[in-house]
Amino acid sequence: MSFFECRSAKDHLESFSCLQNALFGMGNPLLDICAVVDKDFLDKYGLKPNDQILAEEKHKEMFEEIVKKFKVEYHAGGATQNSVKVAQWMIQEPHKVATFFGCIGKDKFGKILKEKAEEAHVDAHYYEQSQEPTGTCAACITGDNRSLIANLAAANCYKKEKHLDLAENWKLVEKAQVYYIAGFFLTVSLESILKVAKHASQNNKIFCLNLSAPFICEFFKEALMKVMPYVDILFGNETEAATFAREQGFETEDIEEIAKKAQSLPKENKKRQRIVVFTQGKEGTVMTKGDKVETFPVLEIDQSEMVDTNGAGDAFVGGFLSQLVQDKTFEQCIRAGHYAANVIIRHAGCTFPEKPDFH
């Protein structure tokens, strides 16, 4: 019985069991260390107010200083893990709609990540190793900007042959209908991404990728373009879209034009036209539809109600995926994405209230 036949089956329990493990995510599981910092702190470590970078040698001390100097909060993070967690929260029942693969260390932070995934009802299967400690990400917040510095550590140790290729794990990949991987994982295991992407393409399932950060579009563009032919839905924000366009020689800064050009890049599975979705913060979200590009306004929010924009992009994708996996329209997917992002920016880190209020 196919997934979507199963979704419309009268038997409620049967449709429940079909949704389980229907969404598959793979990425860098990180423990977020969040703090409201000042401009001096950003300047000291050469950080831009709104950016995502990988930690270098010069940032090592920063991880210690942020804990000493500011009030920090720890949240289970990593872009893909955040998104599948939000998708699960939006769906509520059944539990374990989302599967997540990634690498952690055998340590305290790894234990926290396992507990948090369980609390969120995500079916996380981590590859655990003891060479490297669990990865962390410093989220330095100033006003409504956030600068993210990721120290991948264990997350960088994910191995296709040690985890993804194992029969019991690959079975979970085959069970899924929708796949989501953030571009950040391109720096870790291109071969794992390609194996999953090709499976999706060959079986006419939906493979989604996020541009994730300007540095991915710029310094990992070769890996990115190896995966692009298998991408059914491409996500990104306005900064990433602009960098992607520049690196691909699109010769336009118009976001709608960039979306169109990204849509028409070569594609393996011709049964599905690529959809491109670009968010623009408080400006409308742009989505390609057929040969048109539509803009959808975001939900308004008062500046005083914004606590932390850190998880907004991940939350948008999570909301979107929660409807996609239930075979809803793309317009409904966008609406859910906007709702989830609007909720998440009222909370610290990528955290949310107990239940969503989305109809």
Residue 51, Cα to own-chain centre: how many angstroms? Answer: 16
Nearest to 88 by CA among 325, 328, 332: 325
CB 36 within 8 A of CB 51: no
CB 231 within 8 A of CB 198: no
Q: What are the helix (H) ranges across 108-189?
A: 108-119, 167-175
Peptide bond into 94 cis (omega under 30): yes
CB 150 within 8 A of CB 54: yes
- Is 314 labeled as catalytic in the residue annotation? yes
Q: Catalytic pick from 302, 314, 327, 357? A: 314
Neighbours of 204 (CB within 10 A): 11
C-alpha distances in Å from residue 135, one per residue of 40, 81, 149, 173, 309? 25, 13, 11, 24, 21
- 147's CB contacts (< 8 A; 6+ apart) are 42, 47, 48, 49, 50, 51, 52, 53, 139, 140
Residue 212, φ and ψ in degrees, nearest 5: 70, -45
Which segments within the chain are labelled E, that is strand?
A: 23-26, 30-36, 51-54, 73-77, 98-105, 123-129, 135-142, 145-151, 178-182, 206-210, 233-237, 275-280, 283-289, 292-296
Q: How large is the angle between the packed helices 79-91 and 330-344, nearest 10 degrees? A: 110
Would you state the torsion angle of the CA atoms of residues 226, 174, 97, 136, taken in this order, to the nearest 10 degrees? -40
Kindly list the catalytic residues. Answer: 314
